[in-house]
Amino acid sequence: MLGRAVPAPDQEMLRNAITDGAVRHLLREEDPRLRNFRLCNACGSCTPYCPARINDPGANGDPGYLARRVTAALQAGRRPGLDLADCVQCYSCETVCPRSVSIGGIINAVYETERLQPVFRRMLLDRGGLPPRAFLPLYMERGHLRKFIAKAIRYPYPADGRAIDEVRRLLLHPVDASAFSVPGHLPQRQPLARPDRVFHLNSCCAFNYPGADLSQKTILAALGIRYETSRMQTCCGGAPHYMGGAGFADRLLLTARNLSVIHDAFEPGGEIAVTGICPTCSDSYAAALDVLSHNANRGMANAALARIGREVTDPGAFSVANVLDLYPLYLDELRRLVETRLTGLTVGVHVSCHYRKMNGTLAVPPGLQDLTAVTGAKITRSVMEHYCCGGVKNLFDRHRNGRPRELSRLNRLVRQDFMNHRLDVMVVDCPGCELVYDHMGVPVLHITELLALAMGAEPGDTVCVQGHLTSLSPALDRIGIL
């Protein structure tokens, strides 16, 4: 009897029972992502904005289909009857909800119970973030192992051993997410002032595009903006969080720890602008600063940070300087720095979901278009600049499930849009979006890479175009860059 296999239907029943039990546990523990699910009244505001269409609006014309199924299931103490792996974690639903119910956040919490990715948590404990080997499966399938090895040798993960030890000690004693209260929509961010000094974040996903990171540093130096970095900085927790490897509290504590590291690099009393090439990082810091602005939340976070001798004392001293907020303040200077106008290059622009989530609006801000226009490239406007690329989470899910070449609906839509408009290159603000486009065969550049090329940066040494999986040679050769 002990050696007999459990029949498939019974296996499914067991899995559902375990998941339902985990969901009931989440509800009892009052995970902040689930606290306001009862406010959902199925008004349907979020239904048209789900890019993955897991809330298929064609289902009997039912407004609020996704919200109703998710929140009704939770009210009954069971998991929603949807394939939650299809959720790309763009948070468009949260952005448009009039009652600040985060269906995306709820799905994120339930997804963790169903498909926890222990490998990503182990990497946080072992390396303080997602080291190069986290991305190895994405290079094996398409035969780009040489590109992976070249990057891994030249751009190893930068975290210091002491930092990794701090992360390990911090995360080995998990804090319940229920210890923190979370407000609804983020407050309106104050306009960013032109900083003369910034802290430049190391992004885990930048391993795939070291040229984006090097280009950022080149631009900052050319603008006369001093930048600080630190090997004591580790992952913000954003990417592991959205892929089911780090919980709400893990992400908050990782970001809070980094804020302490950043604070150490600056003189006390001044404002500290935190910048980087990744909008998921920007969103992590903006969200953490909002949570930590509440005294009770900061006290809970500092109680955990005290185990590693750190604390966050003044969240108000920090501002998030995403590249789409920072560089538009220097448009005149950037125009003067352009050495090679990229005339003849026809591009599309794609603003990341997490940048828009951070801003709390689905409207596409002008920053990416304005910065692209500085280079002289011709911008072709498209409805897909409002949409999701398909998501890094979906890319990892496909590789994990043995379906690496099976493009998602969103992948197919954005690739077809690229072809229909006969574009040369897509320009993005996110290394995650860059990874997704690159893997679907679309030539793509991060906005920092595009600006650096126009400023005369070396395509190989600085922009590292040879590391891209989809060749940029046809487009760049034609305009005389290569």
With pLDDT > 90 as the criterion, what percentage of the chain qualifies?
A: 47
The one-letter amino acid code at 262 reads I
pLDDT at residue 253, as a whole number: 95
Angle of CA points 113, 118, 123, to nearest 5°? 140
pLDDT recorded at residue 48: 74
Place of tokens 């689930």: 34
Q: What is the pLDDT of residue 3?
A: 46
- Tens of pLDDT along 188-240? 566 788 999 999 998 888 899 999 999 999 999 999 999 999 999 999 998 88
Strands, E assignment, 267-360: 272-275, 318-320, 346-350
Rg of the chain over CA atoms, in angstroms?
Answer: 22
Q: Report helix, strand or coil for 80.
A: coil
pLDDT, mean over the chain: 84
What span, in angstroms and rounded, lies between the C-alpha atoms of 325 and 273? 11
Kindly state the tokens that stand for 188: 């309106």
Residue 7: pLDDT over 70:
no
- Smallest CA-to-CA distance from 312 within 320, 321, 323, 304 is with 304
- Give Dmax over CA atoms of the chain in angstroms: 78
Task: Express each pLDDT in 117-155 by its tens digit.
Answer: 567 778 888 888 888 988 998 898 767 899 999 999 988
**Res. 2 pLDDT band, cuts 50 70 90:** very low
Torsion angles phi and psi, residue 226, rounded to 5: -70, 140
Total Cβ atoms within 10 A of residue 367: 22
Cα–Cα nearest to 52, from 388, 412, 462: 388
Query: Domain spans of the chain?
Result: 10-115, 118-325, 336-478
Residue linked to tokens 């997704």: 436
Asked if 246 contacts 124 with a C-beta cutoff of 8 angstroms, the reply is yes
Distance CA 86, CA 72 (A): 19
SS3 446: strand
At 389 the pLDDT is: 87
* Whole-angstrom distance, CA of residue 241 vs CA of residue 250: 8
Average pLDDT over residues 94-116: 73
**CA gap 63, 255 in Å, rounded:** 37
Residue with tokens 């891994």: 152
Q: Which residue has the higher pLDDT, 26 or 321?
A: 321
75-84, 325-334, 447-456: segment of lowest average pLDDT: 75-84
Q: What is the rounded CA–CA span in Å between residue 260 and residue 165?
A: 15
Which class does domain 10-115 fall in? mainly alpha
The whole-number pLDDT of residue 216 equals 96
Element (H, E) at 445: strand 444-446
All residues at 6 or more sequence positions from 83 whose CB lies less than 8 Å from its CB, including other chains: 54
Distance CA 129, CA 118 (A): 13
What is the spatial distance between Cα 110 and Cα 115, in angstroms, rounded to a whole number? 9
Sign (positive/negative) of CA torsion 392, 394, 396, 398? negative
User: How many C-beta atoms surround the C-beta of residue 349 within 10 A?
Assistant: 25
Question: DSSP characters for 350-372?
Answer: E--HHHHHHHT--S--SHHHHHH
Euclidean distance between CA atoms 391 and 413, whole angstroms:
13
- How many residues are listed for the chain in this entry? 482
Query: Is 101 within 8 Å of 39 (Cβ atoms)?
Result: yes
Angle formed by the axes of helices 248-264 and 118-127, to 10°?
Answer: 20
User: How sure is the predictor about 278, in pLDDT bands with cuts at 50, 70 and 90?
Assistant: very high
* Residue 329 pLDDT exceeds 60: yes
Segments of 22-97 assigned E as strands:
none
Read off the pLDDT of each residue in 294-299 and give the average, rounded to a whole number. Answer: 93
Q: Among 58, 46, 138, 123, which Cα is nearest to 87's?
A: 46
Token pair for 353: 């979901």
Q: Dihedral of CA 323/443/243/384: which sign?
A: positive
More confident residue, 62 or 74: 74
Contact between residue 350 and residue 427 where contact means Cβ atoms under 8 Å apart? yes
Backbone angles phi, psi at 90, to 5 degrees: -85, -25
Q: At what angle do helices 392-400 and 431-439 cross, to 10 degrees?
A: 50
172 versus 222: the higher-pLDDT residue is: 222
Residue with tokens 């050696």: 3
pLDDT value at residue 1: 39
The pTM assigned to this predicted structure is 0.87
CA–CA distance, 10 with 110 (Å, rounded to integer): 22
Backbone angles phi, psi at 346, to 5 degrees: -100, 120
What's residue 5's pLDDT? 52
Q: What is the CATH number of domain 336-478?
A: 3.40.50.11810
pLDDT at 148: 92
Please tell me the number of Cα atoms within 13 Å of 225 on its side-chain side: 26
d(CA 5, CA 3): 6
H or E stretch covering 426: strand 425-428
So what's the pLDDT on residue 184?
A: 53
* Topology of the domain covering 118-325: Glutathione S-transferase Yfyf (Class Pi); Chain A, domain 2 (1.20.1050)
Cα torsion angle, 208, 235, 319, 261, sign: negative
Rounded to an integer, the average pLDDT of 444-469 is 96
The phi and psi torsions of 198 (rounded to 5 degrees) equal -135, 165
| Range from 14-18, 182-186, 252-256 carrying the lowest mean pLDDT | 14-18
